Amino acid sequence: MGYIILLIFILITFISLTIYLTKYVHNTLFIKNMKHKTISWLISLVPILLIIKGLRVNTVNATVVYIHIFLFILLGELLIYLINKISKKEVNKRYALVFSLIVTSIYLGYGYYMAHHVVETHYEVVTSKDIGIDHLRVVQVTDSHIGATMDGDKFIEYMERINETNPDIVVVTGDFVDDSTSLTDMIKGCTGLGKLKTKYGVYFVYGNHDKGYFDFREYGDKEIREELAKNNVIILEDEYISLIGNVVLLGRQDKGEKNRVTAQDLMKDIDKNKYVIALDHEPNDYDNEAASGMDIVISGHTHGGQLFPLGPISLLLKENDKVYGIEKRSNTTFIVSSGIGDWAVKFKTDAKAEYVVIDIKNGINNEVSDNILEIVDETVTNNLTCDTALEKFYTDNDYTYYFSCIKSDYVIVKYEDGTTEKVVDAINNNKITIKELDKYNINYYKEKN
């Protein structure tokens, strides 16, 4: 219903501004002095028709152009008023129209470039949890709306660019296709996802546009699922999988789904020591997601605000918790991408088109290693004999770890500040990881639980 109301609003605005701008052109220029009124009005309509045809835009984009012309006319008239007031000279109001057309052309020309020029955005996230590997590279693709600012072939080109980043996983966080996406472009888009080269796979969650608001597409959700499956793309709908090491990947249904599971219910059976990456198309459940213990939530939907000042307005109306960028709330990192594509609007004056590269780094290794002078086994230096072949010193979710003929109390961590600590205490206090033992040639044995 909200989508239909939006389209009705756009149509009404389009008609109203067409009438207004036609009258403005007619009354501002010399056309109104023509003898034949009908001809003068038809001539007044010509610039409007040229705008539509020249930009090859639809009703939505024509409305965007009209709104900017209207607003810059008001700005131009304000400037002329101030000039007349200060200089005591009379500047004709027709210059407000000229000013508006020039500024609108430059401003929306910039917006068109930003919507069609895709860049790479990079974030680095350091976690205090042991994720089981040194780092994990996640690449996010969101809001492609294939068929709007790119066709299926162009989408494939972008996927080839993403391959150059050497992703561990790629996540598609909704609005992959739109109501206007053709069957051919949808299939090519899925083929593009199938061309991605990753270590651990490609994962997909639905957005509010993927299933379509209307019934005029030549395919449905069934065909989307089939094409994704053909290209080894895994759909996550209020479910999670163990990805690698201590990393869990969780995908949520879109906010608009009536049977969507709460963040707390999704997290209740997940080990709190696991690092949880959550995919949620719309960034508007931050409080619940932070309270549930998710470690990072990756979203799209907002298009980065798209056109100024829509971003600040959406925050003011509490439609979204964040419009663009990265922030941390409690222990949860939130990232919102402006998207690789666009909906029907072909301009981005307040954002950029992007795919996002997120490097999640094992904070224990990266933060502590620089502070360790060495780890030493003092069993031999204290002339101690081996009482038992194996001595258990640590257990995690996957393995039990043993020292072989080493007394754990005598394996010491020496820090650069001169302090020392038993290695068992350092591990249990999350100051170091098991991997640190490898760096200092401390022998140990592990047994799968």
Taking the C-alpha atoms of residue 104 and residue 97, their distance in angstroms, rounded to an integer, is: 10
pLDDT: which is higher, 378 or 65 = 65
Spatial contact of 43 and 22, defined as CB atoms under 8 Å apart: no
What are the CA-CA distances from residue 289 to residues 119, 125, 239 (Å)?
29, 17, 15
For 199-225, what is the mean pLDDT?
91
For residue range 98-150, list pLDDT tens digits in order. 888 899 999 999 999 999 999 999 998 988 788 888 889 999 999 999 998 99
Kindly report, residue by residue over 218-236, the tens digit of the pLDDT: 999 999 999 999 999 999 9
Average pLDDT of span 82-108: 84
Residue type, 100: S
Indicate if the pLDDT at residue 357 is higher than 70: yes
pLDDT at position 292, please? Answer: 95
Instruction: State the DSSP string of 138-197.
Output: EEEE----TTSS--HHHHHHHHHHHHTT--SEEEEES--S-TT--HHHHHHHHHHHHT--
Q: Residue 222: which H helix or E strand, with range?
A: helix 221-230
Structural domains of the chain in order of their starting residue, each with its CATH number: 2-114 (no CATH), 117-366 (3.60.21), 378-448 (no CATH)
Distances (CA, A) of 376 to 373, 388, 445: 10, 20, 17
pLDDT of residue 2: 47
From the CB of residue 123, how many other CB atoms can be counted at a distance below 10 Å?
Answer: 18
pLDDT of residue 381: 61
**pLDDT band (50, 70, 90) for residue 367:** very low
Average pLDDT over residues 245-265: 94
pLDDT value at position 371?
Answer: 67
Residue pair 361/127 in contact by the 8 Å Cβ criterion: yes
Contacts of 181 (CB under 8 A, 6+ apart): 145, 146, 147, 189, 217
pTM, two decimal places:
0.73
Report the pLDDT value the prediction gives residue 397, as an integer from 0 to 100: 65
Share of the chain above pLDDT 70, in %: 81
Mean pLDDT of 167-174: 97
